[in-house]
Amino acid sequence: MLTIRRIPDLNDQDMMGDAFAERIRECVLELLIARGPGRTICVSEAAQTLATRSGYHWHDLMRPVRTISAQLADSGTIEALQQEEIVDIRVARGPVRLRLRALPGQRSALPGQRSAEVG
């Protein structure tokens, strides 16, 4: 029988320097790179992928994934979108999609991969 662990009730400050926070970062970036240039993922996709790897219930991972995604957005690594508009994931309500931040003249921020010029 499959046992699902519940994530401890952690506030955002407890998540920041944690090894689990790094696992979330890696998962989000891995999914975005796999999806491809200019493509997006849903926050829930990252939570579900992380849940299968960690044994936690994916609903319990939504807040930590959003918190770490906000950090990645603050650092300029990714963008959070709703209805194709960039939003602040901290205040956005409802579904949010994530994408790698485009570098000037590129569609995607994939390092080492040549992207098509934006025309």
* pLDDT tens sequence across 8-38: 544 544 544 588 999 999 999 999 999 988 9
Q: What's 20-100's CATH class?
A: mainly alpha
- The CB-side HSE value for 114 (13 A sphere, CA atoms) comes to 0
Question: In angstroms, rounded to a whole number, what is the distance separating the alpha carbons of residues 38 and 106?
Answer: 9
Q: In whole angstroms, what is the distance from residue 100 CA to residue 82 CA?
A: 14
**pTM of the entire structure?**
0.75
Of residues 27, 20, 19, 70, the one with CA closest to residue 47: 27
End-to-end CA distance of the chain: 54
Q: Delimit the domains of the chain by residue range.
A: 20-100
